[in-house]
Structure 1
Amino acid sequence: MKKSKATVRLLPALLLVAGIGGFAAPSSAESRNAAAVLSDATTAVGPQYDTTHVYVTPGAMDAFVTCWEATFGGTNTAKVVTQVTPTPSTTASELVLSPVGALSVFDFRTPVPYPFGAERTGWLMSDFDKGVRLARASGAALVVAPFDDPIGRDAVVQFPGGVNAQLYWHTKAPSYAPLKTVPENRIYLTRDSARAFLTSYLRFTGGRIVSDDQAADGGQIGTLDETYRRITISSHFGDTVVSVTDGHLPYPFGRETTGYAVKDLTSTLHRAEVAGAKVLWGPNTSQGRTSAMVQFPGGYVAELHQGDDR
């Protein structure tokens, strides 16, 4: 399939992640040791190159992009209709670059080939082959073998607990402005696979555990009068929040893949609602952080927060 220059500009944002799992996390000493093993060898480029995939309901792409930019600001590429998977498919696609994070927006015109469509984040590799090797060495499985696109290469790896991540590389390195705030990759795990996930994830990312709250306020995830385990991780790939729960989550928790930090949550929510978004939950304040769950046109659910409890 022949692709236009506009398509080539858009494809950098291809990515994948989805998952659930859980158990005890590595100790702080273990996380430091794990980070030391691979931190010098990390292939991370920067969090502005970590893109969230947004699969909108058919025909909702324009409404989503308009609402997002009215809420957070930013710019977007021209919409193109192209193939972004290694097997035949067709989608309308745009890349959105906003101060709070980058998004790849897809409006598929054909069925979405497996395992695409359940992703949460993906990372630009400074060295693609090395990135794949490091992921596998960390304990991640290669679930989509490397494939070429018009401007580089891609692969999908899966960390323990079923968390998939797309690794990508460009023949010509992209250049995106630094973010004003770094978004959170929000992952929900069960106790059974959390330890294996964290060991692998920390090894690959070279990350460190910033906080590990064994009895976090369940009100943060809609479970009032209960507690859960909340682990925050920082790395050159960006921030991650791991919620280890019993899986008894009220809607829409667990449906969000990314959390976005804002300076003034009240005004941000107002802009979002005026532009067509719906507040599904909150605002809720707990441990110095006020958060809400918002659904944007096209079905994308995101967590928005002001302040931080780390």
Structure 2
Amino acid sequence: MRSHVLLAAMALLIAPASFAATQDFSVGPQYDTTHVYVAPGDVDAFVRSFAATFGGQSTPQAVVTVTPTPSSTSSQLVKSPVGAISVFGFRTPVPYPFGLERTGYLVTDLDEAVRAANRAGAATLVAPFDDPIGRDAVVTWPGGVNMQLYWHTKKSEYTPLEHVPENRIYLPVQSADAFVKAFVAFAHGKVVSDERAAPVADIGGKSGVFRRIRIESGYGKATVLVTDGHLDWPYGAETTGYEVGDLDATLARARDNGVKVLVDIHAETDRRAAMLQFPGGYVAEVHSAAR
């Protein structure tokens, strides 16, 4: 027993600074949004269909500049009991690398959060800049996973979610472990499951297996899907999976509001799931717990 204690103490002494105790900058999954870019002419139809499908409500639309270089876009936040989205309808060309980030995560201190992400293994793709209601930055993780970090000048109060959505991240085997190690360290998260042989049918395949890693943290849920890239559309086109209480009722509302059901309800390992496409092209996975 004494030798185990000694080894643990030595490991702490020689651990690199990047793995020392650091601050958790997360605020809560209700403040995290999926970024959705649609053509200006599709914005209203998309917002209506998303809100009607999931029971959400949109903030008023505003035309603003949300990038550090000149641009113009409509911007609005749609909050629902199963997750929020930030909707952008650019009137100008979208400056690089915007449009490639999948999510926006609210943090308590933007500059320190960016530095913490850098220490964990992320690169700063867009250095911190001011926006109309706060400050933003974009970081990129191993595997090319881009995420926006943001901070609001005025504190927001959002209702906790009924169901926390999952950030669905498709990665090749060569970068999956590096991403998980880096993101978990930054997010103060934990790997809740690591299935080395999940059935490929869960992501539209015919036969074979893939690796599925599920992570939870103060930023919500993330599912890393490690594949060889041989994916049938629309798998890989979705960035978010929304958990709902009644999947059948959700799909009925979706169909009534102009949403295409790309993959109908089917059983997966631990859930019932479907794939939807909203007006404007946004693809989402929707699921409920297995019966």
- Could you list the runs of 5+ residues in structure 2 that have no partner in the other structure? 1-14
Query: Residue in 1 aligned with 2:130?
Result: 148
The alpha carbon displacement at 1:70 in A equals 1.1
Matched, 1:223 2:209: no
Matched, 1:279 2:236: no
Query: Residue in 2 aligned with 1:209?
Result: 191
Query: Residue in 2 aligned with 1:255?
Result: 237
CA contact (8 A) 1:38 1:205 kept: no
CA contact (8 A) 2:143 2:179 kept: yes
| RCO comparison, higher one (Cα < 8 Å, 6+) | 1
Deviation string for 1:150-187 (max 9, x for gaps)?
33211111111101111111122111111110000000
Matched, 1:198 2:180: yes
Matched, 1:73 2:75: no
1: CA distance, partners of 2:111 / 2:61: 30
The alpha carbon displacement at 1:57 in A equals 2.8
1: CA distance, partners of 2:151 / 2:20: 19
Matches within 5 A, 1:85-96: 85-96=67-78
Q: TM-score, normalised by structure 1?
A: 0.86
- 1:193 is paired with a residue whose SS is helix
Letter in 1 for 2:163: T
- 1:216 is paired with a residue whose SS is strand
CA contact (8 A) 2:40 2:74 kept: no
Residues 1:141 and 1:308: Cα distance change in structure 2 (over 3 Å): farther
The alpha carbon displacement at 1:282 in A equals 2.7
Matches within 5 A, 1:173-192: 173-192=155-174
After superposition, the CA RMSD in angstroms is 1.8
Residues 1:79 and 1:39: Cα distance change in structure 2 (over 3 Å): farther
CA contact (8 A) 1:38 1:204 kept: no
2: CA distance, partners of 1:59 / 1:149: 24
1: CA distance, partners of 2:255 / 2:20: 43
Work out which of the residue numbers 121, 131, 134 in structure 1 matches 2:113.
131
CA contact (8 A) 2:136 2:149 kept: yes
The alpha carbon displacement at 1:95 in A equals 0.8
The alpha carbon displacement at 1:40 in A equals 5.6
Deviation string for 1:188-238 (max 9, x for gaps)?
000111111111111111110000000101111001222100000000110
Query: Residue in 2 aligned with 1:9?
Result: none
Letter in 1 for 2:30: Q
Work out which of the residue numbers 19, 44, 65 in structure 2 matches 1:83.
65
2: CA distance, partners of 1:258 / 1:167: 17
- 2:174 is paired with a residue whose SS is coil
Query: Residue in 2 aligned with 1:169?
Result: 151
1: CA distance, partners of 2:118 / 2:22: 17
Query: Residue in 1 aligned with 2:223?
Result: 241
Query: Residue in 2 aligned with 1:11?
Result: none
CA contact (8 A) 2:164 2:220 kept: yes
- 1:137 is paired with a residue whose SS is helix
1: CA distance, partners of 2:207 / 2:264: 16
Q: TM-score, normalised by structure 2?
A: 0.91
1: CA distance, partners of 2:21 / 2:29: 15
- 1:131 is paired with a residue whose SS is helix
2: CA distance, partners of 1:146 / 1:153: 7
Query: Residue in 2 aligned with 1:26?
Result: none
CA contact (8 A) 2:35 2:86 kept: yes
Letter in 1 for 2:47: V
Matches within 5 A, 1:13-24: none
Q: Where does structure 1 differ by over 3 angstroms across 4 or more consecutive aligned residues?
A: 36-40
Letter in 1 for 2:233: Y
2: CA distance, partners of 1:271 / 1:307: 19
Query: Residue in 1 aligned with 2:247?
Result: 265
Residues 1:38 and 1:256: Cα distance change in structure 2 (over 3 Å): farther
Percent identity at matched positions?
Answer: 58
Query: Residue in 2 aligned with 1:53?
Result: 35
CA contact (8 A) 1:38 1:206 kept: no
- Could you list the runs of 5+ residues in structure 1 that have no partner in the other structure? 1-32
1: CA distance, partners of 2:44 / 2:21: 40
